[in-house]
Amino acid sequence: MVLVSSGRTPRSCKQFEADTTVLYHSTAISKKNFQATVYCGNVRQTAVIVTMDKELVRTNERALITFRFIKQPEYLQVGSRLVLRDGRNKGIGIGIITKVTPYQHSSSLLTDT
């Protein structure tokens, strides 16, 4: 549940794009099977990398990365700051959300049989 102004139309998203800076990673981040925990306001959920504008991103490099949440959609706003964490205690990156893709419910799940 999200509290917003009556003038807004809140939409949840399952996929979003962020301008991300990698603060630390022991090797490099690639889009192949990479998962990180995303912290953004009250959101805390694991996300996978869908696309990146670079092949690899190493420590102190920036990239435009598209993430997809694993579990449920969340409410995010463009311009919000986020923190990425890998593993148990490594903060690996920070970023700013640049694009949010609104979540569309699958109609096949809503039909009665």
Condensed to tens digits (0 to 9), the pLDDT of residues 31-83 reads 888 999 999 999 999 999 999 999 999 999 999 999 999 999 999 999 999 99
Which residues, in sequence order, are bridge partners of residue 101?
15
**Strand 90-102 to 13-22 pairing:** antiparallel
CA nearest to 45, candidates 8, 12, 79: 12
Tokens read off for 72: 């449920």
* R_g of the chain, CA atoms, integer Å: 15
**Strand 43-52 to 90-102 pairing:** unpaired
Note whether 75 and 13 are within 8 A (CB).
yes
Q: What is the pLDDT of residues 4-15, one digit of tens each?
A: 778 877 788 999
pTM summary value: 0.84
